[in-house]
């Protein structure tokens, strides 16, 4: 495509480092699609005759069929664009040489990459929704379950099992909003920008935009060919999703240990040990946890690449697809696997409730005093002294004698121990977003509604509907 400028052929080492078709081959449906749109636009602009435009579009259809049927690159195919160009010459003849009129591989690859990324955002969104559906299904079975919530990995307060699982549902909703926003940011068409200065032929970019389904047209040809913000934004959405999957996985791994015993793993998404017959290992969750680091690396690599580039296109950007494809491919493995693993979990409700000791209702006991007229700081100190006495005596807080309560604060009555009940603690927290039974039912309704397709114009308000 560029050999006329040079007296000799390239070094084999250059061919080896420059050849990207092993990575960008998957862009072929999008490259064919944009090439057909370009052939149509050239015809509409009078650059090609109607017959030439039709011949190119029909030839591209035949190229697409050949690739779909298994056509493979040859040694001279530097990238998917040169492969399609070669095949088009075989299918359409010399008119194929006219297709590249007014365009560059710079705006061509930027356009194909954006089309691929738009499709990827939709596929990842569907996979996230599938994981959310599994979480929601399990959450609906845990409305009568209670377990400790943890801060600093220390038992803090009792919460509804539904409330705990939905704490992993809402980050995924935010991820879907991020992918919807990334898709909209990606949907800006660079085609027509040429190499850097814009096409010299009067093609209608509006026609191109409409035929390819973009939301907008790039405003500046220099920016359009060198812009990879859409890759970084999509990778950020991928990295956040992977981080949320990692945190969900960590809870399941931890709660599935014998020490916690809150969760039992199913057969379909667990592995055994080659040595220890008793083992049931949560490999899916461990691999999901590890994937967070890999996707983070992809994000860092693209940010490191683009932060030092001059304006316009540089060959460094060839690596953008390696990072993007790797992150999306990984998520499209992790998300469905986690959805399957979550769906077959069994929760040990009795074990979960038994882990809620009376000391976890210490805040409720302080609230009891506040309702009687004490300040919270005063109540905090009184209850803290009771907790210390229970620890020193080796008994639960609710097993302290009545005298201990009245000695700690004069406002404690004979009903003080009632504040140390798990169900009473939950029932007191029916504030929106809280773990009370009524609040949790409202939250379930919100969760079901949020599984509708994400409208990016709603932004973060989606999670509040």
CB 302 within 8 A of CB 235: yes
List, by residue number, the catalytic residues.
152, 273
Secondary structure (H, E, C), the chain: CCHHHCCCCCCHHHHHHHCCHHHHHHHHHHHHHHHHHHHHHHHHCCCCCHHHHHHHHHHHHHHHHHHHCCCCCCCCCCCHHHHHHHHHHHHHHHHHHHCCCCCCHHHHHHHHHHHHHHHHHHHHHHHHHHHHHHHHHHHCCCCCCEEEEEECCEEEEEEEHHHHHHHHHHHHHHHHHHHHHHHHHHCEECCCCCCCCCCCCCCCHHHHHHHHCCCEECCCHHHHHHCCHHHHHHHHHHHHHHHHHHHHHHHHHHHCCCCCCCEECCCCCCECCCCCCCCCECHHHHHHHHHHHHHHHHHHHHHHHHCCCCCCCCHHHHHHHHHHHHHHHHHHHHHHHHHHHHHCCEECHHHHHHCCCHHHHHHHHHHHHHHHCCCHHHHHHHHHHHHHHHHHHCCCHHHCCHHHHHHHCCCCCCCHHHHHCHHHHHHCCCCCCCCCHHHHHHHHHHHHHHCCCCCHHHHHHHHHC
The CA-atom distances, in angstroms, between 294 and each of 93, 308, 331 are 45, 23, 10
104: tokens are 């560059």
Q: What is the DSSP letter of 328?
A: H
Contacts of 143 (CB under 8 A, 6+ apart): 160, 161, 162, 437, 440, 441, 444
């Amino acid at each position: 495509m560029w050999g006329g400028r040079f007296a000799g052929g390239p070094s084999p080492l250059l061919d080896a480092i420059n050849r990207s078709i092993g990575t960008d081959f998957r862009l072929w449906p999008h490259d064919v699609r944009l090439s057909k749109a370009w052939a149509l636009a050239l015809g509409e602009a009078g650059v090609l005759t109607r017959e030439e435009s039709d011949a190119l579009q029909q030839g591209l259809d035949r190229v697409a069929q050949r690739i779909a049927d298994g056509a493979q690159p040859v040694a001279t195919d530097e990238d998917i664009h040169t492969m399609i160009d070669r095949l088009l010459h075989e299918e359409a003849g010399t008119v194929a040489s006219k297709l590249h009129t007014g365009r560059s591989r710079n705006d061509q690859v930027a356009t194909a990459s954006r089309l691929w990324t738009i499709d990827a955002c939709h596929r990842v969104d569907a996979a996230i929704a599938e994981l959310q559906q599994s979480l929601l299904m399990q959450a609906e079975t845990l409305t009568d379950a209670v377990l400790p919530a943890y801060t600093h990995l220390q038992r803090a307060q009792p919460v509804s099992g539904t409330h705990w699982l939905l704490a992993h549902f809402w980050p995924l909703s935010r991820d879907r909003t991020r992918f919807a926003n990334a898709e909209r940011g990606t949907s800006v068409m660079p085609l027509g920008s040429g190499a850097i200065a814009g096409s010299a032929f009067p093609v209608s970019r509006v026609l191109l935009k409409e035929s390819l389904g973009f939301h907008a047209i790039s405003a500046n040809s220099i920016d359009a060919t060198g812009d990879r913000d859409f890759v970084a934004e999509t990778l950020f959405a991928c990295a956040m999703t992977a981080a949320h999957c990692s945190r969900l996985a960590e809870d399941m791994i931890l709660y599935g240990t014998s020490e916690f015993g809150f969760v039992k793993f199913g057969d379909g998404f667990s592995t055994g040990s080659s040595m220890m017959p008793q083992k049931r290992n949560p490999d899916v969750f461990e691999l999901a946890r590890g994937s967070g680091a890999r996707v983070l690396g992809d994000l860092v690599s693209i940010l490191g690449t683009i932060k030092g580039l001059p304006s316009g296109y540089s060959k460094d950007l060839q690596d953008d697809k390696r990072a993007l494809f790797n992150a999306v491919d990984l998520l499209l493995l992790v998300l469905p696997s986690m959805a399957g693993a979550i769906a077959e979990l069994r929760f040990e409700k009795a074990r979960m409730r038994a882990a809620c000791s009376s000391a976890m209702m210490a805040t409720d006991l302080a609230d009891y005093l506040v309702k009687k007229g004490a300040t919270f700081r005063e109540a905090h100190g009184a209850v803290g002294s009771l907790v210390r006495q229970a620890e020193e005596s080796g008994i639960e807080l609710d097993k302290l004698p009545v005298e201990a309560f009245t000695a700690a604060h004069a406002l404690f009555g004979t009903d003080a121990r009632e504040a140390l009940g798990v169900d009473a603690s939950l029932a007191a927290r029916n504030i929106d977003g809280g773990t009370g039974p009524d609040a949790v039912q409202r939250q379930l309704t919100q969760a079901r509604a949020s599984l509708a397709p994400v409208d990016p114009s709603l932004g973060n308000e989606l999670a509040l509907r």
